[in-house]
A and B are shown apart, each in its own frame.
Chain A
Amino acid sequence: MNRRITTAVRMGVREFRRTPVLLALLVFLPAYIIGAFVLLVPDVDVPATIDGTRLTVPMTDFAAAFMTPVTVAILSGIVGLFLVQTSQAADDRLRLAGYTATDLVVSRVGTLGLGIVVVTMASVVVAVFAFTPESTVPFVAATLLVGLTYGILGVVVGIVLGRLGGVYVMLFSPMVDVLLFQNPLATDAPEWTTLLPSHYATNALFDAAFTSSIDAWDFGGAVAYTVGLLVIGVLVFYQATDVE
């Protein structure tokens, strides 16, 4: 990693650190969303369809597992949005000063990745207070993939829509995608919902949470989706910060 990239990542992390509202959200939202759902749901067993199999799981466990990707998707989207909104105006000046497109993209992806790792860790820590996943490492990996997917979406939405519109979209879309259409308690989701960003990652996450098996197809799909979005994100970011 060259000097320009390490400097930009270091400065990006400092900018995050100096944004108290964002830091407060990182701590507060996982505790509030995951914790509140776990406390509020009744202590009963519920039937859920995991990887095509009908299982019965405690409602509190389900709430903890289910609200983890919701929280991570919302927070990662906000982190991506914040990252691009705070840096976009100055990024083209940095390009003019000598950063290559690759330097800048790698720097921003690196900073975004660090932010998403923090979001994922904060959410998983709260979740494991309520339940123990059957397969912890795949559960964390799937959660991270949800975060990466929505973090990149946050960057793209931030460039295209601006701050206010972007915040609305990044709050609304995880609710529709994860909470509504990837919900294992729901039945007969339309076929097109398999195209939504979190489909494969949440399938992998519920597998890891409640079964000891790992579905390579879901993980592969989630990774492919993330890589595809990353390519789109890089192209949009490159276009937005392009200089002659």
Chain B
Amino acid sequence: MDIASKGDDAGGTANSSGDTVVSANSVEKTYDSVLPFTRSVEVLDGATLHVERGQVVGIMGENGSGKSTLMGILAGVLDHDAGEVERAGSIGWCPQEPRLYDRLTVDETFQLFGTAYGMSDDEIVEARAWLTEVLDFERFRDRQIRHLSGGNRQKVNLSVALMHEPDLLLLDEPYTGFDWETFLAFWDLTEELRTRGVGVAIISHIINERDRFDVVYELHEGHLHRQEIGDDDGLSSEPTDDDVACERTASFIDEAGAGSGQRATAGQEESE
């Protein structure tokens, strides 16, 4: 399948760098309420992030830190108040809660979204065969989404994001509910996508998996802090785009420097 040719279909815009599939610069987002006597919640305050082709990027942060909001903004389904987001090529978005049509079967879901991606019937069948085999849910193909278990629903959710082999994959806790074999299969699949040049951004709470990422961003108090994996001292206490440092991040660097190798992140393996 020709990945580059499908870029326009998903509404991607041209990017200044040939290797960058998404870049967010100084993004700000506040949730305002129209009701009186309710407070606004500032979620992102100058967040900056870049994902390159063939790069697997982790986005971490405690519950309620705004990771899913950031992902929604990167995908283009959420508005942002300030800053710039540029995307290149086609996008695959796997939201945390499966956004699927409950009364359609797995096959019909592939058909509907495949049509949306502009795929031919043969390409849809091919993608379905590939993903149902890799993620092991071939036997549920004629079952309605509402009758699937949480784990199998998540497999369909992930497959919808993957089926058109996008240039950029945005995955919000994609392995929630997966059994161990599927979890490993997911990472094999991610490696395969990396070698094909797909840029992958994953929201994750599983700290033990951080070595699988090329870059980790920690989201704290609206700021993103970047760390190149393989360099424990690489996490910057400075946010990616402004001069506001975070105490929590500084303390994390101390722990990493002490050789703990793992982060004591609140809400480990919990859903946000």
Contact = CB atoms under 8 A, between A and B. Distances in A.
Given A4-B116, A11-B112, A96 B76 contact: yes
Contacts of A18: 103, 144
Contact of B113 (A15, A86, A92, A94): A94
B99 A89 contact: yes
A7 B91 CA distance: 21
B10 A14 contact: no
A96 B75 contact: yes
Contacts of A89: 97, 99
Interface in A93-115: 93-99
A188 interface: no
Given A14-B108, A243-B11, A93 B103 contact: no
A97 B116 contact: yes
Given A98-B116, A243-B77, A93 B95 contact: yes
A244 interface: yes
Contact of B112 (A7, A95, A96): A7
A97 B113 contact: yes
Given A96-B76, A97-B10, A244-B11, A15 B117 contact: no
Nearest to A87: B101
Interface residues of B, number: 29
B116 A94 contact: yes
Contact of B91 (A90, A92, A94, A96): A96
B202 interface: no
Nearest to A16: B103
A19 interface: yes
Query: Chain A: interface residue count, which band?
Result: 20 to 34
B209 interface: no
Contact of A97 (B101, B111, B117, B144): B117
Contacts of A94: 112-113, 116
A98 B104 contact: no
B115 A7 contact: yes
A106 B91 CA distance: 24
Given A14-B103, A86-B102, A89-B99, A8 B112 contact: yes
Contacts of B10: 96-98
B224 interface: no
B94 to A, nearest CB: 9
Q: Which of B77, B91, B101, B144 has the most CB of A within 10 A?
A: B101
5 contacts: A11-B101, A86-B101, A96-B75, A97-B113, A243-B76
Interface of A: 3-4, 7-8, 11, 14-15, 18-19, 86-87, 89-90, 92-99, 243-244
Given A86-B102, A93-B99, A243-B11, 5 more contacts: A14-B103, A89-B99, A93-B113, A98-B117, A244-B11
